[in-house]
Amino acid sequence: QITLYYFSLQFLTSWTFHCTTVDVIYDVVRVAAINIAAHRLGGPQDLFNGSREFSS
């Protein structure tokens, strides 16, 4: 009975820590991707910078 309780407690806590670690990694990657997209060389703020207008 005690061994089964210890095993299930160990399984549940290891799953919780694993899930938390994966969530933290996903959050870091998501924030890094958003920062890279917002601060890249040709962002939306430079959309009309250097664009040409041709009259017909």
Phi, psi of 6 (to 5 degrees): -65, -40
Mean pLDDT score, 45-56? 56
pTM beyond 0.95, yes or no? no
Which pair of structure tokens corresponds to residue 44?
A: 């939306």
Confidence of residue 28 (pLDDT cuts 50, 70, 90): confident
Using one digit for the tens of pLDDT, what is the confidence trace for 29-48? 776 666 565 555 555 555 55
**Cα–Cα distance between 46 and 50 in angstroms, integer?**
8
